[in-house]
Structure 1
Amino acid sequence: MTDLFSHPWFSGLFGDAEAQGIWSAERSLTHMLAFEAAYSRGLGAIGKIPANQADAAAAWIEQSAPGMDTLRAGTIADGLPVPALVQALRSDAGPLAPAIHTGTTSQDVMDTALALTLRETTNLLQARLSRLSEVLGDLSEKFGGRQIMGRTRMQVALPVSVGHRIETWRDPLRSYHQTLSDLRPRVECVQLAGPVGDGQTIGPSLHDLAKHIADALGLYVTDQSWHTTRDRVVEYADLLSHISGSLGKMGQDICLMAQQGVDEIRLSGGGTSSAMPHKQNPILAELLVTLARFNAVQVSGMHHAMVHEQERSGSAWALEWMILPTMAQTTARSLAAATTLCTQIISIGATPD
């Protein structure tokens, strides 16, 4: 079985086309080419090469599109796609070749592409957090004054308002929205540190060149290389797990509230059973629990991916590539599913006398 995010039928439940597009190979290649073009222009801006040569090299890069087969073969040989990408860009560039990639390194390219991907991911997640918060607010306004039985340790406790229960779902969303904004200057950063992370191949103009690239790409500048210091990326992964975890709590509550005999919530569009036609299964609520638990498992792998040896790691870095895109797509799907689930709520709690 292939992964459920792209599986022919399971992707209908687990997949998220918008998030998948953001993390696609095609989009990543666009970002890598954008870095290379901005880098060449930056070399001209700081006087490393003539400005006209820099502009011509950038224009050459922008119209180049190495085939995926080329990048695949290069990744098999080199462990990553950038050497093949650079070779393809330089091969027919003639006198422009020295203005392409000289002084930078593969990780600068890929990490800056990651920063651009995280910016798009944050835009998507914040939009979805805001929408879900609005939908929950509408539910609270409509049903918040009703009563349901509060339960502690899954046993009957004391009555609480529907509004109280909804607020436990809604409140974390506001802090997550703000935390995503706070993380932008830490993760949406140009990576420009050269082969061993100290910028020696670029020289004293390193900061000026980084600033030029940052301005061109709409990113931030950091004074510290993060080639092997991945705490900021792990912070982002932690937040992804927090978001999906809170949505999993909401999904678990709704599953329990929808149980026959409890009947504290009524949903439209429930899933059917092949053997028991009387059932209406809370599919999206269950999905939220599954996605929360999946991300909780993945985030430990991201902490393992922090352990880089010396100035660059092949194994730790590659582990990050395996995990982070899936976590981001899981979180995006969680938010979309939660919003759809909330629109399926017909009633919560008993109608007041």
Structure 2
Amino acid sequence: MSPQRFEILVGLYGDDRTAQILSEEATIGSWLRVEAALATAQGELGILETDAAEAIVEAAKPGNIDRDRLWKETRTVGYPILSLVRQIDAALPEAHRGRVHYGATTQDIMDSGLAFQLDESAARLGVLLAEFGDSMARLAEQHAETVIAGRTHALQAVPTTFGAKIATYVGELARHRDRLAAARTRLAVVSLFGAGGTSAAYGVHAVALRARVARLLGLRTTDVPWHVARDGLAEFGLVCSLLAGTCARFAREVVDLSRTEIAEVGEASGHHRGASSTMPQKVNPIESEAVIGLSATTGALSSALFRVMEAGHERAAGEWQAEWQVLPQLVCLSAAALRTSASIAAGLQVFPQAMRANLRADGGLVMAEAYMMRLADRLGRERAHDLVYEAVGHCRATGEPLFTALRHALPAEVAATIEELPPESYLGRPHETVNAALALWRTEV
């Protein structure tokens, strides 16, 4: 094969285990594993003689495959299995030749191998998701009472806690865990239906053969062919994009809260971490930036999966090849986003004093709704809203604190009944939010 391009983003932040699962070696190995399982099952069912089946299993080993020849012949044929089968066959004793790949078609082997690889990939994504979710759960629990300005439209809105903010991510990751488990179940399915999906070449033992091969590979069986029904694979790819999307939301939050003017959180520190080549003061949120880049790429790639689902009749004509490029990339990008996000969460620096100071940055206007709701019982909601609105305008024009401006604007008998409200008085129920998210996360799948 020709030299492969260096993918700098995945090269720097990718997950080695995921890369190994989807490597050239593992991909060829998955095809060999399927051929061996097919021969084993055919030997058990009497389709092949036992010694022939055993010989095929012994020959279906990586050491018998010349990769240069495999890819050269694949370029001519268009698919790799013909060359793979010929090389396995050549490694057999003369008496057992002509029995490899008996009744199978190329896509049977490649799809079953892919299902095996993606099942392993899904398991690895589950591990990385758990690491990220556990780190976020710890942050939510630790900061359930750490008061911070909640922001809507990028502006201060009402007080909340950092733990309650993080709890929304924990809940989201719990839902992703369910999505990943469901998608994994639907993709880990053997494909063994022959050339046109009819199983004709497998004969009367087709159903039993398929079930046995599935068990040998650790996959589920099915009696409905999926040569062109790619919804399960598309679902899995979209789950990968969803995982990366949540990672990007968290990374964007870290970038925004790390801004010099806000400085409420920061990534882990270290010598030259996030340094600039020219500005000595810079400590850039480099891992968060990487996650945003990884997620942006998954979103763009995943759109191709809908084109893959357009495959017609009983065999794709180009749509299948799109999977070869898109699915491994989606998995690797998603794994990298999860792995890097877990690193961000585990090393995140949280600065409660800056959060407290920023609550005062707008003269206490973050408490405007709180005062309005306190006054609504006495004045009615609409009048209370208008009075507070006018007081806010006065504060912005004069720099006067909101509480002082309200005391001046309200009727004396009403002004005497209100007191200055600290941010802690208007947090809602952050502990309930955090506890509910933690309960979701800690529930076993």
| Structure 1 residue corresponding to 2:311, chosen from 288, 298, 308 | 308
| Structure 2 residue corresponding to 1:327, chosen from 324, 327, 330 | 330
CA distance in 2, matches of 1:3, 1:69: 18
Residue 16 of structure 1: how far off its partner (Å): 2.6
What is the TM-score normalised by the length of structure 2?
0.75
1:245-295 deviation per Cα after TM superposition (whole angstroms, max 9, x unaligned): 011100111100000011111332340111211111001111111111111
1:95-129 deviation per Cα after TM superposition (whole angstroms, max 9, x unaligned): 22232101001101111110111111111111111
Q: Does 1:45 align with 2:44?
A: yes
Residue 11 of structure 1: how far off its partner (Å): 4.8
CA distance in 1, matches of 2:219, 2:298: 27
Q: Does 1:294 align with 2:297?
A: yes
Q: Does 1:56 align with 2:59?
A: no
Q: Does 1:274 align with 2:307?
A: no
Amino acid at match of 2:228: T
Residue 202 of structure 1: how far off its partner (Å): 0.6
Instruction: Judge conservation of contact 2:140–2:163 (CA < 8 Å) in 1.
Output: yes
Q: Per the alignment, in what secondary structure is the counterpart of residue 98 of structure 2?
A: helix
Q: CA RMSD in A?
A: 1.9
Unaligned runs of 5+ in 2: 357-423, 425-445
Please identify, of 69-78 and 265-274, the stretch whose mean Cα deviation from structure 2 is larger.
265-274
Of all paired residues, the percent bearing the same amino acid is: 26
| Alignment match, 2:16 | 17
Question: In the superposition, relative to structure 1, how do residues 21 and 57 fare at CA in structure 2: closer, same or farther (>3 Å)?
Answer: same
Amino acid at match of 1:285: S
Instruction: Judge conservation of contact 2:13–2:340 (CA < 8 Å) in 1.
Output: no
| Alignment match, 2:82 | 83
Instruction: Judge conservation of contact 1:143–1:347 (CA < 8 Å) in 2.
Output: no
Residue 14 of structure 1: how far off its partner (Å): 3.8
| Alignment match, 2:402 | none
| Alignment match, 1:213 | 213
Instruction: Judge conservation of contact 2:265–2:349 (CA < 8 Å) in 1.
Output: yes
Q: Which segments of structure 1 move beyond 6 Å, counting only runs of 4 or more? A: none
Q: Per the alignment, in what secondary structure is the counterpart of residue 350 of structure 2?
A: strand
CA distance in 1, matches of 2:139, 2:327: 33
Amino acid at match of 1:308: A
Amino acid at match of 1:324: L
Residue 2 of structure 1: how far off its partner (Å): 6.6
1:157-180 deviation per Cα after TM superposition (whole angstroms, max 9, x unaligned): 111110111112221111222222
Amino acid at match of 1:181: A
1:196-254 deviation per Cα after TM superposition (whole angstroms, max 9, x unaligned): 11111112211100111111111110111111110110000110011000111001111
Question: In the superposition, relative to structure 1, how do residues 159 and 4 fare at CA in structure 2: closer, same or farther (>3 Å)?
Answer: farther
| Alignment match, 1:72 | 71
CA distance in 1, matches of 2:34, 2:154: 53
Instruction: Judge conservation of contact 2:56–2:88 (CA < 8 Å) in 1.
Output: no
Q: Does 1:165 align with 2:168?
A: no
CA distance in 2, matches of 1:343, 1:121: 23
CA distance in 2, matches of 1:174, 1:2: 36
Q: Per the alignment, in what secondary structure is the counterpart of residue 201 of structure 1?
A: helix
CA distance in 2, matches of 1:51, 1:284: 55
Count how many residue pairs are aligned between Structure 1 and Structure 2.
350
Unaligned runs of 5+ in 1: none
